[in-house]
């Protein structure tokens, strides 16, 4: 859980830092909008990838948690 919080904080911090850096750098409005759009799309893609990875991890954990329960239910059926 701590690792997830750290990764989330690092991603959010990087996004905020990149946004501030872009806004502080001298460039035209059109260039600035293009850079912001690129960074936003990149951040969104990274966030979706992290969410998908976490979803897969949680699905695996859920499957593992459900397996022993199925075995114990099957054992109870055999005993009855």
Residue spans per domain, the chain: 2-79
**Angle subtended by helix axes 2-24 and 29-79, to nearest 10:** 170
- Which residues are CB-neighbours of 15 under 8 A, at least 6 positions away? 39, 43
pTM above 0.85, yes or no: no
Q: How far apart are CA 60 and CA 80, in angstroms?
A: 31
Q: Taking a C-beta distance cutoff of 8 angstroms, is the pair 5, 15 a contact?
A: no
How far is Cα 22 from Cα 39, in angstroms, rounded to an integer? Answer: 10
- pLDDT tens digits along 8-47: 888 888 888 887 877 777 767 788 788 888 988 988 898 8
HSE, side-chain direction, 13 A CA sphere, residue 50: 16
């Amino acid at each position: 859980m701590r690792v997830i919080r750290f990764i989330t904080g690092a991603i959010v911090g990087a996004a905020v830092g990149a946004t501030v850096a872009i806004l502080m750098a001298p460039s035209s409005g059109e260039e600035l909008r293009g850079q912001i759009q690129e960074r936003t799309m990149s951040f969104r893609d990274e966030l979706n990838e992290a969410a998908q990875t976490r979803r897969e991890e949680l699905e695996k954990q859920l499957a593992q948690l459900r397996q022993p329960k199925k075995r114990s239910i099957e054992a109870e059926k055999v005993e009855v």
